[in-house]
Amino acid sequence: MNKTLNRRDFIKIMNATTGVAIVASGITLTTFASVSEIPVTNKKRWGLLINTNKLTETDIDGMINACKQEQGWGTEIHSTASQKPAWIKKLKVKDKATNKVSSLALMCQHCEEPPCVDVCPTNASMKREDGIVLVDKHLCIGCRYCMMACPYDARSFVHETLNNQKEHMPRGKGTVEACTMCVHKVDKDETPACVESVNSEAVIFGNLYDESSQINRTLRVIQSSQIRADLNLNTGVRYSGI
């Protein structure tokens, strides 16, 4: 190993040490929780599989309530029904040929190629490496172009002043929001609130890439579909039974 230290290396090391020193001097009393300090990577891709044959309407109502509880939306007082946020919706669809009626939960589909991210002028709409699509509300200017672009009507605009938000879910007037796949829980190795609320195996959450995960194994054997598969967005939320 070359032990001579050239000028550039020296400056690099000096910068690093002073950087650490400054940061360390800032906070000394820190409680360390069991959280990852490593950025998420594209080795994982989080997804949901919703089986509409098993999913009852009560399940869907439960999912919606769990989402409201967890994320704190739905208590808006001034907004009209069509102005209120709807991070997750209950839809009933009837097949035109067979007349079969299915109920399903519709939320942000966490596309691999999200149109909302493409159109956002300020990079506020963004996709994490692990496939979760979020709104960076620090950058959102409230232009609503992402809502125009979303094929799933998944996003909501906050039409009124809010307070008493959840600590993990900042939300504010004039910005756009949507399902976060409970990213604050996923980062702690937990499961999204809506998935937890369903007792059966009608909704499965997991890493689509992990061959040992339940979602991957199930998707291998059953027939599943993506909504608006024709758009080729490769959604993270999959459905079976419709």
- Ranges within 144-183 binding another protein (CB under 8 A): 144-145, 147-153, 155-161, 163-167, 170-176, 183
**How many residues of this chain interact with another protein, rule: CB under 8 A?**
95
Closest by alpha carbon to 224, among 67, 91, 96, 47? 47
Site for another protein in 24-43 (CB under 8 A): 25-33, 35-40
Out of 17, 83, 200, 222, the residue judged to bind another protein by CB under 8 A: 83
Site membership for another protein, residue 221 (CB under 8 A): no
Q: What is the DSSP letter of 132?
A: -
Q: Which is nearer to another protein, 196 or 242 (CB)?
A: 242
DSSP conformation letters of 38-85: SPP-TT--EEEEEETTT--HHHHHHHHHHHHHHH--S--SSS-TTTS-
- How far are the Cα atoms of 31, 139, 165, 182 from residue 169, in angstroms, in the given order? 21, 16, 7, 9
Site for another protein in 89-148 (CB under 8 A): 89-97, 101, 106, 115, 117-124, 126, 128-130, 134, 136-145, 147-148
CB of 47 to another protein, least distance (A): 16
